[in-house]
Amino acid sequence: MSPSRRDFLFTSAAAAAASLARVANLHAAQGPQAAPPVFTPIRRNVGFFTMRGGTIGYLINAGGVAVVDSQFPPEAIACLNGLNERSGNRGVDLLMNTHHHGDHSGGNISFRGVAKKVVAHAKAAEHMKNPPGTQPPTEQLYPDTTFTDTWAMEIGDERISAKFYGRAHTSGDVAITFERANVVHMGDLLFDRRHPVVDRPAGASLANWIKQMELIAKAHTADTVFIAGHAGANFPVTCAAADLMHHRDYITALLEFTSAQIKAGKTREEVVAMKDVLKGFDAHGPLTAGPLGAAFDELSTK
C-alpha cells in the first residue's frame, strides 16, 4: 500500500471511529485494547486474525481472498498488509460483516478500493448506516450486497455461506460458514467465557440467543471449529459445540439470576450494581452492569 493511500485511510478512519464509540466503549471495559497483529491458520486455508476488536476470519486460496469482519481502521490496515503478504497482493474478493458494531465493522473503511464485494445482513447494514443510540460514521464502506435469511458464494475450492437465525446479540447477527473447511465464524453470537454485550437498542434478545446456540450447534458437526467474536482471558477464540452450549447455559443462568432478583423486589439500580459470580461460570468473573441491565429490561417488558 502506498504512503498516500495509507495516510488517507488513517485520516478518514479517525472520523469513522469517533462515531462508533458507544459500542466500542462497552467492549473496552472487558479486555485489553492493544496487541500485536497475529494470523492463526485453522485448516484448509481458513484462519483468524487478532489484534484489537472482534476476531477477524480469513480465507486465502488459489481462487481468491475473503475476510469476515474488520475490527477498527488501523487494525484493518494491519490485517490487509498481512493478507497481501500471504496472497501476493491479490486484493480482497469478499468482505463480510457478522453484524454492525464498530469493533467488527469500523475497519471497513480501510477496505475501500480493495474489497470487490461487501456483504451483510440487511438489518446489520441498516444499523451500520444508522447505529441505534449514536451517529453514523462520516466515512465508511457500507455493504453493497444484503440478504435476510441466507447467502452463499464460491471462492476457489471453498463455499462461504451465511445464515440469520434470529435476534440475539443484535437483530442482524449472522453465522458465517466456510463449508468445506467446516469452520464457522460466529461474530458476537459467541462470547466464550466472557460477559457479552447485549445491544437492546439494536434489537437484542437473550431468550432468542439461547435458542440460537442450540440451532447453530445442531446445524454443524462434532468436528466443526467455531470462531468466537471475543473470548475471556486465557481462553482461545476457536471453540467447539460444547462452548456454544456453555454460552447458552450462561445466558440461561443470567436470566434466572435476574428473574430471582426481580421477584425479590430489587430495583433496576440495585440489580445492575450486583457483583455476584454466576454459579458454574467462575471464568466470567463478577457480573457487570451491561448484561444485568439487559436481562432486567428484557424480563421487565414481558
Helix and strand numbers (H, E) in the chain are: 9, 15
245 neighbors 213 (Cβ within 8 angstroms) = yes
pLDDT mean across residues, the chain? 91
pLDDT at 112 over 90: yes
Burial 202-219 (b: 16+ CB within 10 A, else e): bbbbbebbbebbeebbee
Res 34 pLDDT > 70: no
- pLDDT value, residue 35: 85
Q: Residue 54: what pLDDT?
A: 98
| Per-residue pLDDT, 30 | 39
Which pLDDT score is estimated for 302?
A: 65
Residue type, 249: D
Q: Kindly report, residue by residue over 143-159, the tens digit of the pLDDT.
A: 999 999 999 999 999 99
Q: Which of 25, 205, 8, 9 is nearest to 102 (CA)?
A: 25
d(CA 105, CA 117): 14
| CA-based torsion, 134, 31, 245, 237: positive or negative | positive
Q: Compute and round to an integer the Cα radius of gyration of the chain.
A: 19
Grid coordinates given for 51: 489484534
Coil/strand/helix, residue 248: helix
Rounded-to-integer distance, Cα 189 and Cα 169, Å: 6
Give the Cα separation of 118 and 95 in Å (integer). 5
Examine the pLDDT at 29 and tell me if it is beyond 50: no
Is the pLDDT at 26 greater than 90? The verdict is: no
| pLDDT for residue 10 | 37
Which of 186, 144, 142 has its CA nearest to residue 163?
186
C-alpha cell, 184: 464457522
**Hey, what's the cell of 6?**
495509507
pLDDT at position 24 is 42
Least confident among 27-31, 110-114, 228-232, 277-281: 27-31
Which residue did the predictor score with more confidence, 170 or 1? Answer: 170
For the stretch 237-251, pLDDT in tens is: 999 999 999 999 999
Find the range with the poorest average confidence among 5-19, 156-170, 173-187, 195-209: 5-19
